[in-house]
Structure 1
């Protein structure tokens, strides 16, 4: 999910390569940390679903999924993969009449500017049921960078706290991992589970 015009263009122009590089990444370690915390048949919002890889896994494991992304090309790819409608919109513009048991925002909120992230966390939290859980991940750091045509907001523990401080969310768990893509293991990520 991207909200930066350059980042959206990047994904629209490089969708096939992005999907091929991410569709088969083994996400088991992250799924095992998050999914057991959810009720059976939980309804998950996949916020910034990219290729649809995670949505497909959730559906295959008995969860209901609503998926969204800002890239038209990725929305089309994800829709085909999961065989259901995927919403094309920014985080700031997404709204559902349903409340979700969980939100999954894997490597997607990092494309929202640091100035906009507190509002985005507030908006997404409003879509969660009480005690709902929210997984998100950021490249580890405390700055904003533009790289390869994409905008990234990096986060560490302290910076993440500032992003959620005005929301109804609090940190349940956080941990650091290497990138799960082969050859990029030295890139560090912060993974966070929040609760409403």
Structure 2
């Protein structure tokens, strides 16, 4: 279930948050390059719709989603299309997408619910489908200066959650330095996993 305090932050700051980070993450292009042209992509945590807009421009069939109705409304202004209001535990699609893009959103999933969320993503992917997700690195769950909950995982912990979520054919976790809405230096973990292709 979404953390109430985190949802309240996004509800209260949706308009300001929507003005943040206008450029897609550098990892997005690499993710899209591994999908079939025009493939179906589910975006979790669309936020201001920035990445969904870039994916649509690149010709992909994007289903943007967010657990925050207020952020979804901001993204709809940018995209001119409906944004699915959905928390991670509500994802029930099966074999529906070639890719799932989850930039800086699964990091809000409570640690005890993360494996289930990843298992739902695994089920939602078609054979050969790919997941790309980013997390803030750390060793203990906690909150930031705005009161938002983070699961703050190490690479080993993230690897364990992914391995427990399904029989991924491949799994890779890389680290990169960057920042976030708070403007502070941040160590990011990027997880890329691929479901086995159909035989």
> 1:25: how far off?
3.1
Q: 2:59 aligns with which of 57, 62, 67?
A: 62
Comparing 48-57 with 89-98, which one deviates more in the overlay?
Answer: 89-98
> 1:55: how far off?
0.3
> 1:32: how far off?
2.7
**Which residue matches 1:103?**
100
In 1, the alpha carbon distance for the partners of 2:169 and 2:151 equals 20
Whether the 8 Å contact between 1:178 and 1:185 is mirrored in structure 2 is no
Structure 1 residue matching 2:29: 3-state secondary structure: helix
> 1:98: how far off?
6.0
Aligned length: 193
Structure 1 residue matching 2:110: 3-state secondary structure: coil
In 2, the alpha carbon distance for the partners of 1:164 and 1:173 equals 10
Whether the 8 Å contact between 2:175 and 2:189 is mirrored in structure 1 is yes
**Which residue matches 1:25?**
23
Whether the 8 Å contact between 1:164 and 1:170 is mirrored in structure 2 is no
RMSD: 2.0
**Which residue matches 1:116?**
113
Structure 2 residue 68 is the aligned partner of structure 1 residue 74: no
- Superposed, 1:108-187 pairs within 5 Å as 108-147=105-144, 148-168=146-166, 169=168, 171-179=170-178, 184=183, 186-187=185-186
Normalising to structure 1: TM-score of the pair?
0.91
- Cα distance, 1:107–1:72 mapped onto 2, change above 3 Å: same
Structure 2 residue 11 is the aligned partner of structure 1 residue 16: no
Structure 2 residue 37 is the aligned partner of structure 1 residue 40: yes
**Which residue matches 2:2?**
3
Structure 2 residue 80 is the aligned partner of structure 1 residue 89: no
Whether the 8 Å contact between 2:177 and 2:186 is mirrored in structure 1 is yes
Deviations 1:40-88 (A, max 9, x none): 1111000111111000000011000011101111010111211111111
> 1:171: how far off?
4.6
Whether the 8 Å contact between 2:65 and 2:72 is mirrored in structure 1 is yes
> 1:97: how far off?
6.2
